[in-house]
């Protein structure tokens, strides 16, 4: 299954926070009580950790990276890696917020079996959640598209610093840098940046992230479906389910008779399927569910 880029997509329209959220949380508790839950999370769960997203109300319009763009030319990849060399540090420094910790609490209580996440920020792992399926990979690994060679993002950053001495300081000296949801920093002047190829085969190296237009590995998809099948309820958090890579799990949960609860700011593509939709902040709703 390929992730599908929504041409001309834009952030969700701002909506007022649901009034009577306490009553809705009580309803969610009743729906989920005694059920084995699996969570499906998107970028909206991480915004309170300082990581921007693409679709939440008020988010600026951004064009996500596509596989076609990344492979288009060596010049584009050099420009991309220069931006990523700065932007990934912002994601690496981010810490889990109360919503991530609430899911870990639910797991420790024996109520949550695991998490399927569309995020690449590794915040569920940082929060101590076990059995996390990263649908779209993670920022912390880099791999060769030709031979599969891998390197940690930390080690690659060290190597790039040695090759590009002074680059980071020069860009940072200009002031604050905007960072996109995929750890891509918004800078233009990258002409003096040098990128490395795979030391084993001279192939193209790429973050271990599934870009738009790229297929989610089949074993990853199968593992995620197995988690949903082994659960009684699917809790969607912080995802508009715009792309099929997430929406298919909500549809599968409904087809197989699972309870479906959605917590998200703004509309999702599965609102009509849900037993309950709470239009509120995950950092408010999830700690209350775990209390």
Confidence of residue 2 (pLDDT cuts 50, 70, 90): very low
Same domain, 174 and 47: no
pLDDT at residue number 186: 66
For the cut 50, the answer to whether the pLDDT of residue 6 exceeds it is no
Q: With beta carbons less than 8 A apart as the criterion, state whether 41 and 132 touch.
A: no
Taking the C-alpha atoms of residue 38 and residue 261, their distance in angstroms, rounded to an integer, is: 11
Residues catalogued as catalytic: 136
Domain assignment of residue 12, yes or no = no
Domain count, the chain: 2
CATH code for the domain in which residue 125 is found: 3.40.50.1220
Is 138 assigned a ligand-binding role in the annotation? no
pLDDT tens figures, 146-187: 999 999 999 999 999 999 998 888 776 655 456 665 566 666
Question: Is the sign of the CA dihedral 273, 275, 276, 282 positive or negative?
Answer: negative
pLDDT at residue number 206: 95
Same domain, 39 and 106: yes
pLDDT tens figures, 250-276: 999 999 999 999 999 999 999 999 999
Averaged confidence pLDDT in the chain: 87
Is 201 assigned a ligand-binding role in the annotation? yes
Confidence of residue 110 (pLDDT cuts 50, 70, 90): very high
For residue 150, give every residue at least 6 positions away whose Cβ sits within 8 Å of its Cβ, in sequence order, or none.
141, 142, 143, 144, 208
Burial of 27 by CB count in 10 Å (0-12 exposed, 13-18 middle, 19+ buried)?
middle
pLDDT at residue number 166: 85
Domain assignment of residue 4, yes or no = no
Q: Which of 209, 238, 267 represents a domain boundary (last residue)?
A: 209
Angle between the 98-108 and 282-290 helix axes, to the nearest 10 degrees?
Answer: 20
Classify 70 in phi/psi space as left (phi over 0), alpha (psi -120 to 50) or beta.
alpha
Q: Which residue range(s) make up the domain with 155? A: 57-93+137-209
Tokens of 116: 């399927």
Domain assignment of residue 2, yes or no = no
Q: Which of 151, 184, 209 represents a domain boundary (last residue)?
A: 209
pTM for the model: 0.86
| Residue 221 CB neighbours (<10 A) | 18
pLDDT at residue number 190: 81
For the cut 70, the answer to whether the pLDDT of residue 283 exceeds it is yes
Same domain, 197 and 266: no
pLDDT at residue number 90: 85
Same domain, 132 and 43: yes
- At 209, give phi and psi (nearest 5°): -125, 140
Residue appearing with tokens 């929406």: 247
* Beta-ladder partners of 37: 112, 233
Out of 15-19, 237-241, 270-274, least confident range = 15-19
For the cut 50, the answer to whether the pLDDT of residue 9 exceeds it is no
pLDDT at residue number 55: 56
């Amino acid at each position: 299954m390929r992730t599908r880029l929504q041409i001309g997509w834009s952030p969700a329209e701002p909506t007022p926070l649901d009034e009577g959220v306490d009553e809705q949380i009580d309803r969610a508790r009743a729906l989920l009580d005694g059920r084995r839950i699996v969570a499906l999370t998107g970028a909206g769960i991480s915004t309170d950790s300082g990581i921007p997203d693409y679709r939440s109300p008020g988010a600026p319009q951004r064009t996500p990276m596509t596989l076609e763009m990344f492979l288009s030319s060596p010049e584009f990849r050099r420009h991309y890696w220069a931006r990523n060399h700065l932007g990934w540090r912002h994601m690496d420094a981010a810490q889990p917020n109360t919503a991530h910790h609430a899911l870990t609490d639910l797991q420790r209580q024996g109520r949550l079996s695991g998490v399927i996440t569309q995020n690449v920020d590794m915040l569920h792992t940082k929060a101590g959640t076990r059995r996390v399926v990263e649908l779209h990979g993670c920022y912390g690994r880099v791999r060769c598209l030709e031979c599969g060679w891998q390197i940690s993002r930390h080690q690659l950053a060290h190597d790039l610093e040695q090759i590009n001495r002074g680059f980071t300081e020069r860009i940072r000296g200009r002031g604050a840098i905007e960072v996109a949801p995929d750890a891509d920093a918004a800078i233009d002047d990258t002409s003096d940046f040098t990128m490395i190829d795979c030391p084993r085969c001279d192939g193209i190296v790429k973050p271990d992230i599934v870009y738009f237009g790229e297929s989610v590995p089949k074993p990853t998809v199968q593992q995620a479906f197995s988690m949903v099948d082994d659960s009684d309820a699917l809790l969607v958090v912080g995802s508009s389910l715009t792309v099929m890579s997430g929406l298919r799990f909500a549809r599968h949960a409904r087809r197989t008779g699972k309870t479906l609860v959605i917590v998200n700011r703004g509309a999702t593509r599965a609102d009509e399927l849900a037993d309950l939709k709470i239009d509120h902040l995950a950092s408010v709703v999830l700690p209350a569910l775990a209390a």
